[in-house]
Structure 1
């Protein structure tokens, strides 16, 4: 448990393709929203000012011919500030989404690797995540599934061993031995956080 609590990943790009897609989608959504808000703000400001400046009762009423020039000045004043705010937001969002996708991609990578190894026969392998990682419920479900399969295999192995100890023909014994060999799983293996670190560093 101590190793599990202190284990730290140093590689932020664990599943590069998945993380890039997530980051691009999130940054695009924020960029579109920022441009939409900026455009609406500019439109509302110029529309409101135009109405107020053209009012005959307004103290600062101006000629209608000056409105386009005024709009250009407002645009020249507002646009650089909106762009600067957008660039800073995208820059910060890049690092935030990188950290967020890291907490998602790490467990996905671990589950993918463990499920592949379990499919190869190592049903004693168990999946553990860091406390801050996502999908901890899936890890529990995967471990429960593995426990269920191991329990069933042990019961089948016990029945096969019982049959081998009974009076069976040589041909039957041969088939039972083949079944017993196929039912064998890999030796129990405790999760190694040092191996996790090395594997993730290689990506």
Structure 2
């Protein structure tokens, strides 16, 4: 005589020979065995701490790696700003390269942040090729408890220093402009 066990799932009962697996509601269920609560995986644990917690863990004790990461983020933001200006001007990458006298690959490296930091003259040349009124600026400040405190801000592009001076003395929260 074969032992039989009952498994109850989602309100329905089915029987199977002891030790056999029967599929209920799309899941394999071993009769007579209770399932334990699933432990969170490493990846799920990171999600609960958020991106900031993960970043801190990754860079803990590695200040040079964190500086390299921050540098690449800043170059990526600059590249995205340049690309936005090119698109607003209605230019393709090749058209901008031709107007600026550069190769398309150089423009691509500027926009994708794969080139080293560009010189100020290169940024100004890029903006001039876009035919835009966009300005290049310099902000000097310090991190603060509330975000970033701007000590001074000025344009670098055309001598209109007063354009960004009103930002001096302000504190800008992360992610806010």
Q: Looking at both structures, which has the greater relative contact order when contacts are Cα pairs under 8 Å and sequence separation is at least 6?
A: 1
More strand, by proportion: 2
- TM-score for the superposition, normalised by structure 2: 0.24
The structure whose Rg is larger is 1
Structure with more helix by fraction: 1
TM-score (norm 1): 0.22
